[in-house]
């Protein structure tokens, strides 16, 4: 009985080896029967166009990761492996690394901060402080930021430059600076205009967000030097 089992085992082993070698020979034959072709250049193409290009020559495509890139739009191929121009057998799978585009940064609100505080806020947001200029202010104390040239909340690229305007303190005698009239009553604006001898141009706009007669816009903007200016404009809310 033991001899019979041994014979059966040997027969099965021989058959298994025969199948194994036959399979290998078939696979080698199939592989070597494929012609060698040059890999196309798909760097800079989007995924749809890359797949279309590769499929014409029987290549496959596999995503091999994504990277942030400021200068290359999202969905664009950054690298391929094997590289373009390499001789490979048809049916080869090309691995690609895609761009996820530039990193979007939201500009922080710097108005009301000191220069040091603003610098820290910009660094944390991976932004750069640019030119710092000064102007008189009736709203903010000396060396406090009164305006920024990229508005708070704007979407920008990493390392974008934000220029600042800081307060030079309250204006000296003889200098007239535009106050902040937003959300103020028209009567208050009229009293100021009468005291300074400036003509007030009043426009009305229907609004549910502001009370009747409340200023919703002004020109020039707050803290603008209006010395010598003859008139200013304000837009006040009017209930529909």
Tell me the pLDDT tens digit for each residue of 9-34: 555 555 655 555 555 555 555 445 56
Query: Which domain CATH number covers 137?
Result: 3.30.10.20
The domain total for the chain is 4
**What burial class does residue 9 get, using C-beta atoms within 10 Å of its C-beta: 0-12 exposed, 13-18 middle, 19+ buried?**
exposed
Q: Is the pLDDT of residue 130 over 80?
A: yes
Summarised one tens digit per residue, pLDDT across range 36-68 is 889 999 999 998 899 999 988 889 999 999 988
Nearest CA to 236 out of 183, 193, 168 is that of 183
Residue 179 half-sphere exposure toward CB, CA atoms < 13 A? 13
Q: What is the mean pLDDT of the chain?
A: 87
44 plus 2 within the same structural domain: no
148 plus 111 within the same structural domain: yes
Q: Is the pLDDT of residue 6 over 90?
A: no
The span from the CA of 171 to the CA of 182, in Å, is 20
Cβ distance 127 to 107 under 8 Å? yes
Q: What's the pLDDT score for residue 181?
A: 95
The span from the CA of 33 to the CA of 21, in Å, is 18
Sign of CA dihedral 116, 120, 125, 131: positive
193 plus 163 within the same structural domain: no
pTM of the model: 0.57
Distance of CA 104 to the CA centre of its chain: 2
The span from the CA of 236 to the CA of 206, in Å, is 9
Angstrom CA distances, 58 to 28, 38, 85, 90, stand at: 19, 11, 15, 6
Q: Is the pLDDT of residue 108 over 90?
A: yes
Domain range spanning residue 82?
Answer: 35-102
Q: What's the pLDDT score for residue 146?
A: 95
Pairing state of beta strands 104-106 and 145-148? unpaired
Residue 178 resides in a domain? no
29 plus 40 within the same structural domain: no
Residue 208 half-sphere exposure toward CB, CA atoms < 13 A? 0
Among 12-16, 156-160, 215-219, top mean pLDDT goes to: 215-219
The span from the CA of 87 to the CA of 172, in Å, is 78
Q: Which of 80, 102, 124 is the last residue of a domain?
A: 102
91 plus 60 within the same structural domain: yes
Distance of CA 96 to the CA centre of its chain: 23
Residues 6+ apart with CB under 8 A from 194: none
Q: Is the pLDDT of residue 217 over 90?
A: yes
162 vs 159: which has the higher pLDDT: 162
């Amino acid at each position: 009985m033991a001899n019979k089992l041994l014979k059966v085992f040997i027969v099965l082993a021989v058959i298994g080896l025969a199948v194994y070698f036959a399979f290998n020979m078939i696979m080698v034959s199939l592989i070597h029967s494929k012609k060698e072709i040059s890999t196309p250049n798909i760097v800079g193409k989007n995924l749809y166009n890359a797949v279309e290009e590769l499929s014409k020559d029987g290549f496959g495509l596999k995503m091999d990761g994504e990277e942030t890139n400021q200068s290359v739009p999202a969905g664009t191929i950054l690298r391929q492996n094997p590289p373009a121009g390499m001789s490979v057998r048809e049916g080869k799978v090309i691995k690609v690394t895609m761009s996820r585009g530039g990193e979007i940064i939201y500009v922080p609100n710097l108005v009301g901060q000191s220069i040091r505080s603003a610098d820290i806020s910009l660094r944390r947001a991976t932004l750069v402080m640019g030119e710092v200029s000064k102007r008189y202010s009736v709203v903010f104390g000396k060396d406090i930021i009164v305006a920024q040239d990229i508005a708070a909340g704007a979407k920008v690229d990493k390392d974008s430059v934000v220029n600042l305007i800081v307060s030079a303190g309250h204006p000296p005698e003889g200098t007239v600076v535009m106050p902040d009239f937003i959300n103020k009553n028209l009567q208050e604006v009229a009293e100021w205009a009468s005291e300074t001898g400036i003509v007030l141009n009043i426009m009305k706009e229907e609004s549910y967000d502001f009370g009747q007669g409340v200023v919703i816009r002004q020109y020039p903007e707050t803290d603008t030097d209006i010395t010598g200016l003859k008139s200013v404009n304000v837009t006040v809310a009017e209930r529909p």
